Structure 1
Amino acid sequence: MRVLAAMSGGVDSAVAAALAVDAGHDVTGVHLALSQNRQTLRSGSRGCCSVEDSHDARRVADELGIPFYVWDLADRFTEDVVDDFVAEYAAGRTPNPCLRCNEKIKFTAVLDRALGLGFDAVVTGHHARLDGTELRRSVDAAKDQSYVLGVLTPEQLAAAMFPLGGMTKDRVREIAAERGFGVAAKPDSHDICFIPDGDTRGFLSRRLGSQPGPVVDAATGRQVGEHDGTYGFTVGQRRGLGIAAGDQRPRYVLGIEPVTRTVTVGTADLAGVPAVRTGAPTWTGRAPQLPFAAQVQVRAHGAPVACRVRPDDGGGLLVEFADQQRGVAPGQSAVFYEPDPDRGDRVLGQAAVTAAVEREAGVRR
């Protein structure tokens, strides 16, 4: 097959490209230039898409003897991922930019272009498995990325290759070292790639400006603090609240209201929710018949929990948790997995959380 290897400059995509070559495919490497300031140097494990990353990807391609190109998708990335990220926070939601990048950039813009150029598939260094066209978790649970791939469609999965899903990250580094790749010991990227200093609140403040408002205690209705912008908070947050609640019990963000600029906080006993509502779902395979039982994961690094999924108004879903969950924020994706223990690593699909079902009257979430 003619295969396009997306090469970020990291060890995972380097080994994925190498394995595609070993499998006998006709491989071409491509590095995605996503940053509008690519000359900014990478700092350890923070950031990506720097000029260093491009050079690292090119060196690996040269060692593999495959053609290599750089595709400038910075404007598309800014519009579909960065601007969306800012808009979601401004609206009081908590987006996942990695999921959005996979949806809009790597498996829409890139895959569409690859297929248009006559390639049969795109290979990436994601830690996830494909069983035919069924998406499954990686064997390395600590590195599993199936959550951020849960937005992919059956057509996209049919043209994707994830050769690392059956091995651990340690094995990936071993393969890179055996081949003499200079990226074998390169640190993994962490945090949000377009915020290399890790200061999300500062990034949003520079984009949105100061928007002061009150922090209110849910139990008493009393103002217990002030903030410079609701975009600096996410539901479930405990640290950095800057409040004086009057006792030593920890407070959590329970709700965010950007119109009135109000952040509502409360104690742990108020933080759990029994269910959430979502927008319209997307499915990685045939749509399951509603209602159905599943496991659901609501954060990229969260633990799955048993749930019951029912139809809701407007084409969305009502997701009822077996156990109350904390920190489920609007904007996050609820990714559904098969409930059968023997197939519980299979991804069914996802839907964006729109609201938590109220447990306590008067608490807006």
Structure 2
Amino acid sequence: MRVIAAMSGGVDSAVAAARAAEAGHDVTGIHLALSRNPASYRSGARGCCTIEDANDARRAADVIGIPFYVWDLSERFHEDVVEDFMDEYAAGRTPNPCLRCNEKIKFAAVLDRALGLGFDAVATGHYAQLRTGADGLVEMHRSVDHGKDQSYVLGVLDQEQLRHSLFPLGDSTKTAVRAEAAARGLLVADKPDSHDICFVADGDNAGWLREKLGDRAPNQGGAVVDESGAVVGTHTGTYAFTIGQRRGLRLGRPAPDGKPRFVLDIEPVSGTVTVGPRERLAVDRLTGIRPRWCGAAPTRLAGPGVTVQLRAHGDEHRAVVTATDSPDGPVVEVELLDPAYGIAPGQAAVIYDGTRVVGSATISATARVSAVQR
């Protein structure tokens, strides 16, 4: 097959490209220029998509012996990922830009361009496995390295995208991948993994949003209140908060019981942030919109192997999942058999049946255990 290997400049994508070439594929390496300001260099393990990363990817391609190009998708990335991130936070929701990038950029814009150029597939360094099921559909499963598993951020891929994807690292551990990179003479063997959101290189999401949103935010400040409505603090913008947050609340009045308080609700129009005890964060009902199915859309999923993951590298929660249609579009209702804590609208609920990824949906609403009639 003719394969495009997306090379970020890190160790995982370099080894994935090398394995694809070694498997006999005709591989071309590409680095995605996603930043509008690529002149900045990464700081430690933060950020990515810099000139340093592009150079690392080029050197890795030279060692592997494959052609290498840089594709500038910065405008598309800004529109589909960065703008979406800002809009979601301004609306009081908590998005995951990595899922949006996989959906809109790596397995849409890149794959579309690759197919248009006559390539057959896109290979990446994600830790996930692809298998062909008895029905002939391509199934995506968790990586053998559960600590590194990235199937959660790939839960937005549909069947057509999976048919044109390769994940060469799905059967390996991170330790083995680093050792292989060193054995292959790849200089990125010991390069630190990038953390946080790639376009917020210093990790200060609130500061970045404050700078970028400016007058676009629905309010520039408001009250922090407890569940009784009593004002316990103030803030400079709701976009600095997410459901379940504990740190950085700057409350002037301690809780009567002396226990920590967490963000329970965010109302961006009025600028009100409500805080309370951790137990009030418990939810066991989720409503999801804009579902993305990896294969055929299910109607109901139940059983011991059905779980939902609500954060990247988060816990799995046993669940019953029902997919229905509404006047506003498809809806996914999730009953969690074990309560989850600190779940915010905007997050992704990725649905599993055993190790197989069934699909995902964007959480639009949650219901707290105490509010549900048993």
TM-score bin, normalised by smaller chain? over 0.9
Question: How does 1:1-365 map onto structure 2 within 5 Å?
Answer: 1-132=1-132, 133-209=138-214, 211-218=220-227, 220-243=228-251, 244-247=253-256, 248-290=258-300, 292-293=302-303, 294-311=306-323, 313=326, 314=328, 315-338=330-353, 344-359=354-369
**Count of matched residue positions in the alignment of Structure 1 and Structure 2:** 355
Moved over 3 A (4+): 311-314, 358-361
The Cα offsets for residues 179-199 of structure 1, whole Å up to 9 and x where unpaired, read as 111100000000010011110
Deviation at 1:257, TM superposition (A): 0.6
**Given that residues 261 and 275 in structure 2 are in contact (C-alpha distance below 8 angstroms), is that contact kept between their aligned partners in structure 1?**
yes
Question: TM-score, structure 1 length as denominator?
Answer: 0.95
**SS where residue 189 of structure 1 aligns?**
coil
Q: Provide the residue aligned with 1:341 in structure 2.
A: none
Structure 2 unaligned segments of length 5 or more: list them: 133-137
Deviation at 1:178, TM superposition (A): 0.2
Q: Indicate the percent of aligned positions where both proteins have the same amino acid.
A: 60
Distance in 2 (CA, whole Å) between partners of 1:245 and 1:255 is 18
The Cα offsets for residues 261-317 of structure 1, whole Å up to 9 and x where unpaired, read as 111111122111121111131110111222545200011121101011124544211
The Cα offsets for residues 70-103 of structure 1, whole Å up to 9 and x where unpaired, read as 0000111111111110000000000001111000
The Cα offsets for residues 301-341 of structure 1, whole Å up to 9 and x where unpaired, read as 21101011124544211111102211110000000000xxx
**SS where residue 280 of structure 1 aligns?**
strand
**Given that residues 217 and 245 in structure 1 are in contact (C-alpha distance below 8 angstroms), is that contact kept between their aligned partners in structure 2?**
no
Distance in 2 (CA, whole Å) between partners of 1:87 and 1:245 is 32
The Cα offsets for residues 34-89 of structure 1, whole Å up to 9 and x where unpaired, read as 01111101111111110011011111111111111000001111111111100000
The Cα offsets for residues 105-126 of structure 1, whole Å up to 9 and x where unpaired, read as 0000000000010000000000
Deviation at 1:246, TM superposition (A): 3.5
Distance in 1 (CA, whole Å) between partners of 2:108 and 2:220 is 35
The Cα offsets for residues 211-257 of structure 1, whole Å up to 9 and x where unpaired, read as 10011111x22111111111001011111111123431111111111
Question: TM-score, structure 2 length as denominator?
Answer: 0.93
Counterpart of 2:224, as a letter, is: V
**SS where residue 198 of structure 1 aligns?**
coil
Distance in 1 (CA, whole Å) between partners of 2:125 and 2:99 is 15
Distance in 2 (CA, whole Å) between partners of 1:155 and 1:246 is 52
Q: Provide the residue aligned with 2:135 in structure 1.
A: none
Distance in 2 (CA, whole Å) between partners of 1:22 and 1:291 is 39
**Given that residues 333 and 350 in structure 1 are in contact (C-alpha distance below 8 angstroms), is that contact kept between their aligned partners in structure 2?**
yes
